[in-house]
Amino acid sequence: MSRARPLLFALVLGLCVPLVGPAQPSLASTGARTPPKWIRRIETVVGNRPVSVAIGQDSHPWLRHLAWVERAPASNEKLLLSMALFDRFAPTRTIWTSARAAKAPDHGVIAGDLWLVGHGDPELDDRDLIALARKVADAGVTRIRGSVIGATGPFRRDWWATGWKDYFPADYIARPTALTFRRNVDAAGHHLVDPERRAALVLTARLEALGVQVGGDADMGPAPAGLSTMARIASAPLQGIVRRMDLHSRNLWAEVLGKYLGAAAYGAGTIANGARAICAFTSAHGLSSTCHDGSGLSYANRETAYGLLRLLWAADRQPWGATLRTSLPSGGQGTLEDRLTDVRLRAKTGTLDNVSALSGWVWLERSGTWAEFSIMSSGFDEYEAKKIENQIVRVVSENASDPAR
């Protein structure tokens, strides 16, 4: 893990103490004597609904309404995960998948099993295993007396987080494993319990197609210690993986990368450790969050709109800030496919039952600059909340400027 830096944090197992902030200002409390028209328009849009709004630029808040109210961020948790990943790893970081054996081949023969070991690439597919098989053959391997076995480590195979609904593993997220394959679903889209074995089956077939003899049937299990690497392949750069995760809000990607982050931070790849690392990142920036997963499926996660705004400002000051911004969908893309097609923005959506969020950057037409924003709501229909988000973003894009000037 490159570019790691110490994190100052005050949390126990990823659960943070609620933030005690200043008295909540009204929507119009922005420092100006008379709120500008654009703020009054947003006040009309929000009305008395439970919607938190935080907007500002260059660490200067322009508008804060219910901005310290803690709400479930839904998939805005992936935005926090993206920040924590880029804070620890270079955007060019790659993740290895390797073929290993207990001993080096003797005259091209591996006496035992060949282990297929993943380390958190959520995008492993047939093309990758074709490339890995070719590298094994190019290394001079002509026969494997044992089997190809998909390793069920080094991450733990946990598949649950506090705040998840009972049906989420069946319907919303496949098992997040260190060795993923074909998104860990079968041809019918059902979530698999044995993606490691299926990957081993494909690698076996690819090796045999290259003339490498394999003695036993493909299987899965915990890999023994002390294996030597025969060949390995690299994932796409982290920045590309994160972009595809954020663009389509992919839950499997988030929990696999969360485990990758948690393994680096705490020595074990678990959903809880990934969440703990996210919360440590927010704590290092002076915020108190509650984190239970990386995908945002947990209804027990908590963040504030002003907290998200401050983290966006912090991202702007980092070398990876522009990479983060371009990882988020623009209007008409990904999870914004049918929304805000006429507005220039980069923003992460978030949706659960009666929960909605939209946070990121919006282009200000008057000044020709980016402003940061976060809108979070809970307690009423998420589709109505998205209409409110769209209206607010349009008002900001077309009319917003610093109300203190």
* Residue in the structure block whose two tokens are 């493909």: 218
Q: What is the pLDDT along the chain (405 residues), one digit of tens a residue?
A: 444 433 333 333 333 333 333 444 445 444 446 889 999 999 999 999 999 999 999 999 999 999 999 999 999 999 999 999 999 999 999 999 999 999 999 999 999 999 999 999 999 999 999 999 999 999 999 999 999 999 999 999 999 999 999 999 999 999 999 999 999 999 999 999 999 999 999 999 999 999 999 999 999 999 999 999 999 999 999 999 999 999 999 999 999 999 999 999 999 999 999 999 999 999 999 999 999 999 999 999 999 999 999 999 999 999 999 999 999 999 999 999 999 999 999 999 999 999 999 999 999 999 999 999 999 999 999 999 999 999 999 999 999 999 987
pTM: 0.91
- Determine the residue type at 351: T
DSSP state letter for 338: T
Domains, the chain, with CATH or none: 11-91+240-399 (3.40.710.10), 96-236 (3.50.80.20)
Q: Which of 385, 365, 366 is nearest to 375 (CA)?
A: 385
For residues 72 and 377, give the distance between their C-alpha atoms in angstroms, rounded to a whole number: 8
pLDDT at residue 404, rounded to an integer = 84
CB 336 within 8 A of CB 327: no
In SS3 terms, 58-76 reads as CCEEEEEECCCCCECCCCH
Residue 26, classified by CB atoms within 10 Å of its CB into exposed (0-12), middle (13-18) or buried (19+), is: exposed
End-to-end alpha-carbon separation of the chain, Å?
Answer: 44
Q: Which of 8, 10, 14, 9 is nearest to 294 (CA)?
A: 14
pLDDT at residue 75, rounded to an integer = 98
DSSP state letter for 230: E
Q: Which of 217, 197, 186 is nearest to 151 (CA)?
A: 197
pLDDT at residue 11, rounded to an integer = 32
What distances in angstroms separate CA 380 from CA 127, 298, 307, 354, 376, one per listed residue? 45, 17, 22, 5, 11
Phi, psi dihedral angles at 251 (to 5 degrees) = -70, -40
Residue 15, classified by CB atoms within 10 Å of its CB into exposed (0-12), middle (13-18) or buried (19+), is: middle
pLDDT at residue 16, rounded to an integer = 37
For residues 55 and 64, give the distance between their C-alpha atoms in angstroms, rounded to a whole number: 7
